[in-house]
Amino acid sequence: MWTSRYLRAFENKIDDESAIVLALRPKYQLAVWNIFSDPGEKVVLGAAGDCIGAGCGRDTAAASDRWLFYRQDVEFLVQPSPLDVRSAKLDNPVKAIERFRDQLKAKGVELLVVVTPGKPSIYPERLTGKNSDVAGNAGAAENGNAAGHENAAAVGDAANLENAAGLQSHGKKILDSLTRAGFNTVDLYTPLLAAKSRDAAEGPLYLNDDTHWTPRGAELAAREIAAAVNRLESEGKIKLKKLQKHEDGSFPLSFVTKDSLADRMGDVGEMSGLNKFNVFKVQKVTGHVVSQQNIKERTEKLPMDSTCVEAAKSACKKNDSCFTAQSALCERDTVLYDTTITPFKDDFRKSEILILGDSFSRIYQTDSPVNAGWIAHFAKNMNRPVASIVSDGGASTLVREKFARKASVLKGKKLLIWEFVERDLRFGAEGWKDVEF
């Protein structure tokens, strides 16, 4: 027990549970925020608007103009790539992805890899400030200098971050390498960066005080992933069951949407510990909640046509057997469609597509406004049932372990979509372990 690791853990436990610490820490955090505009060790305070200069509006901006970033998202961009020789102590994510793909192929299931961009990869200007003069730390950060990392992450080193962000981020480069190696992938970087040009009219793609995307960003992802699945089918890599139709052209299962307003208290704001003082405000978002429309076909007899019956009487005179036979021809059937609308839900039995994901798959899906996440919108775009297994913050290893415990869900599946945020390539919980099925 007298090891440094044990004693450090014990010290941290005392710190976390001490009544004095618990009483004083929030007041200390608030004081640091009020004096230095420091939101805490897990949070990086972004720039505000089009400001120029070291402060970049961080201390004077209105709450609605200020963006918060999760420190790991920022550190992922300024630290060496997970595949760099300087990251040799880390698990190799590409090898884990390759191993998982091969395991699935052995069971006749294709893998589609979706790397979700972190907020600073899509909005570097919201972190650094446009034309920011905060420069000079790029070389130190890129060379692995710890102080350079800390400074770049803390103040937003413009030169290093803006070169690393978006299409040049480690996540995009690793995704491109997977594509060149023959993996099935979805590029969300390019469409998300392109969609920023419509932010003024349609709103941002990511939340102000949260690591995650807005409903708009989630729906864009759903469209891109559905398009990728359709390409796999057209290329013959997967063969999904042909969708059946009723006589009127409708599908037995379709999907409808309805607007729903929801309050979002950002997770990055919560990490700061300042929300108990109402420093960061609730953000309202409009989600498009997906419901299932189940259409059943039924046949119903209509009343006999009186003109037809009179004609049968006239033709048969008083011959009863003749009238019975003729009047039977006057019976009419019609096809009716009963429509019921029910909440969207996973269908492990009927679905040919299984989704593994992290909190980007959970947001709006199982929390407010519910059934408005990218998974529900993907099902709507595909017009098919889907099934999902989600692990918050654990899509690198934990979600595969969760899946391994219920691997029977692969029965009848043709495709597995694996979604994880780019920072997990370096910081994934439990690393990138091999998981046996």
pLDDT per residue as tens digits for the range 218-232: 999 999 999 999 999
Of residues 293, 265, 291, the one with CA closest to residue 279 = 265
Please answer whether residues 75 and 127 qualify as being in contact, where contact means their C-beta atoms are separated by less than 8 angstroms: no
Per-residue model confidence (pLDDT) at position 159 = 41
Task: Pull the structure tokens for residue 173.
Answer: 């480069």
Strand (E) positions, 130-269? 184-186, 253-264
Cβ density class 81-100: b for 16+ within 10 Å, e for less:
bbbeeebeebbebbebbbeb
Per-residue model confidence (pLDDT) at position 280 = 84
Position with higher pLDDT, 58 vs 381: 381
Per-residue model confidence (pLDDT) at position 13 = 81
Cα separation of 427 and 171, whole Å?
Answer: 12
Position with higher pLDDT, 105 vs 307: 105
Confidence of residue 113 (pLDDT cuts 50, 70, 90): very high
Cα separation of 357 and 418, whole Å?
Answer: 6
- From residue 126, how far is each of 2, 154, 166, 193 by CA, in Å? 46, 14, 13, 13
- From residue 41, how far is each of 29, 31, 141, 211 by CA, in Å? 10, 14, 18, 15
Position with higher pLDDT, 417 vs 33: 417
SS (H, E, C) 269-289: HHHHCCHHHCCCCCEEEEEEE
pLDDT at 35 over 60: yes
Please answer whether residues 358 and 428 qualify as being in contact, where contact means their C-beta atoms are separated by less than 8 angstroms: no
Task: Taking residues 153-161, report their average pLDDT.
Answer: 42
Q: What does pLDDT average to over the chain?
A: 84
pLDDT at 369 over 60: yes
HSE-up (13 A, CA, CB side) for residue 406 = 12
Please answer whether residues 169 and 77 qualify as being in contact, where contact means their C-beta atoms are separated by less than 8 angstroms: yes
pLDDT at 407 over 90: no
Per-residue model confidence (pLDDT) at position 202 = 95
**300-349 pLDDT per residue, tens:** 676 777 788 788 788 887 787 887 777 777 777 666 556 788 999 999 99
pLDDT at 146 over 50: no
Cα three-residue angle 423-424-429, rounded to 5 degrees: 135
Phi, psi angle pair for 423, to nearest 5°: -60, -25
pLDDT at 376 over 60: yes
pLDDT at 149 over 50: no
Of all residues in the chain, the percent with pLDDT exceeding 70 is 82
Least confident of 166-170, 229-233, 257-261, 283-287: 166-170
Find which of 118-127, 144-153, 154-163, 172-181 is predicted with most confidence, using mean pLDDT. 172-181
Cα three-residue angle 181-185-191, rounded to 5 degrees: 125
